[in-house]
Structure 1
């Protein structure tokens, strides 16, 4: 029954991914899967870990990113179902190990679906030429349903035939492999955060805020909430300062031009 519920959830998440995009992130998907399987705590931790690992991933231009939805659904479900009674760190390590290959495999299905959807372009153009609003609306449903099956079908196969195999494999794994997976589970999110920071901290002065946050957390031992409130104040002050600097730099040339034009008018008047 749980496999069926997760499969239906994967179907609707596939439709949501091409419509509202409300539940397409691991941080939201994994806790729902954990709640269905009766282990919300593991779902929350797995979701947070996968979210950090995949935070900077997205479709850019023609590039199709790995399927985060299918990867999160399968890896979270199999990690919880295949590790009953194990520690949460073991579940997280298993989820990370399964997330990357499953998301890449599901990525190939998405590319296939995108190719099939291109065949609807001619039909859509004919409807648009006729101003057929109702027909254009109904034409959005076949791709959406296809996206739903693209997420539901691999999820069902993996959960129906892979949970027992995963449980047996994980149970037979030596301790040093489990420890290695746990270590990888700690390193990979840090790498994801580092890549995200490198793309966001492009200005040299922004690194000062990183240093401030490190000092507040590591040396002053502040909790997340006070650090967030302090960061909010600094962000407000930085935004105000940069806005005033931009405004002043934009008004100075205009004032200089106005002054020069006034001088010219006075000279013309004297003549």
Structure 2
């Protein structure tokens, strides 16, 4: 969810206007294992037996500068391959460098001090963008580490980065149908797209998720009203991450939405 940190102070949509292109709703829809697995198969042209969620949203910390990122959809398959899927609607011009940072965070979370490097798993960092980052009109840009002197020689570091472009052109019918739905809400007769629309409709009517979204909005508005000018973007993003964790903890304790909002307003989050 770090993907919107550069525009997090911009007024967000009301919950009822969210679409699959909004990271909050995308995260909720991708909690459906079957749909998440099929989307990965469509994007990567791989066959996956099953996926598992390590957490609903994975938080990875950099112990050096305490910078943390909350990844939208973080899953692994039965072969221990790791997939991070990010929804991106703002072209912040930093995505290539951010993908590098995400890979480094994932790697550091897999290997402890003294352990062999061959424990590192195959990883995919995937950005689904509503814009064309590279302006080549391709629907998908895939990057591996390739030898400059011999383009047929690939470095076997098992690190893969993919940028999906909702504005791009493709002959891949399944990918095209997904991008048409993401971009324009166009619904084909594909079982995957029909099920995806059904899940989006379900998510948009989920009262618990509406409460969670409204609480995040309320917290962001409080931060803006407090006038955090120095480090505004970073401060709000850190508070967003803390708020998500706080809300989830309070929900696990059985507190109502009203009680959680009261706790946020009273400053209980800062005390924790």
Which structure: greater helix fraction? 1
- The structure with more radius of gyration: 1
Calculate the TM-score normalised by the size of structure 2. Answer: 0.27
